[in-house]
Amino acid sequence: MSNMQIFKVISALMDYPQEGVAQHQDELKKIILAEPTLSEDCKSAMTDFLQSQCALHILDWQSDYDALFERGRNLSLLLFEHVHGESRDRGQAMVDLIDQYKQAGLALDKNELPDYIPLFLEFLSTQDQAGAKAWLMDISHILAVLATRLEERDSGYASLFNALLEYSQAEVNMTEIREMVAGEEADYTNEAIDKVWEDEAVTFGGNSTDGGGCPSSSSDGKPTAKQSRNDEMAVNIMSPSAFVPTHTQP
């Protein structure tokens, strides 16, 4: 049976790179290899990624991270960007998810956004296996899209999303997703980023919380919220059909 530490490991690897990860490389590798719910191929890909990233100088790792997650919109690590964008529904979704975290005994820093995936994984680590699986099934489409986009960029980060997808055991049409991703235009080039600035009007005197929204960025180095959204994805991560969280941290 999974001991749920796997979610803390994936969270640490997916979060903004810190030196402590390399310092605990052997411990993290043992947790990955001991996880019974994941295939050997999946665990091998994760340990290869762990080893390659820990071999980098921390500044190079952070630079690689910034190039992936801080440029363009398609690789947002904020779940609701792929569901609600900046619509009015996003504000209530934030409130609902924060309430779930409180029930699990998690306290958020004022600068933390609840839909930041590494933080969401910390929440999953407080749940039992059935509960974590249910939550992951609810976001399986997002996980599959992010994994595919990362594979298109030849990034080892794809192994983390593939692991979560495998853990969920969700049935996802990967052929359809790969076709969709293959048809997307690169959004991380200087030209694409410049076009976004040209197309988006600047509103003075307003803020992202108007109309029930929530702040779209934090000041602690995490990816900004002005990134990809796929509003056509029918995803509701607020109430997994098979599970209502009841466990709390001691």
Question: Is residue 94 a contact partner of residue 115, using CB atoms and an 8 Å limit?
Answer: yes
Using 50, 70 and 90 to split pLDDT, how confident is the model at 188?
low
- pLDDT: which is higher, 46 or 247: 46
Mean pLDDT (the chain, rounded): 78
Amino acid at residue number 221? G
Cα–Cα dist 132/107, whole Å? 19
Question: Alpha-carbon distance 210 to 208, whole Å?
Answer: 6
What's the pLDDT tens digit per position in 154-180? 999 999 999 999 999 999 998 899 988
Give the least confident one: 7-11, 45-49, 112-116: 112-116
Distance between CA 116 and CA 114 in Å, rounded? 6
Q: How far apart are CA 194 and CA 57, in angstroms?
A: 30
Q: How many C-beta atoms lie closer than 10 Å to residue 231's C-beta?
A: 12
Q: What is the pLDDT of residues 68-88, one digit of tens each?
A: 998 767 899 999 888 755 656
Tokens coding 2: 């999974």
Query: What is residue 245's predicted lDDT score, i.e. its pLDDT?
Result: 32
- Checking if the pLDDT of 16 tops 50, the result is yes
| Whether the predicted pLDDT of 132 surpasses 90 | yes
Q: How many angstroms separate the CA atoms of 224 and 73, rounded?
A: 9
pLDDT of res. 109: 82
Per domain, the residue ranges of the chain are 5-200
- Determine the 3-state secondary structure of 80 from DSSP: helix
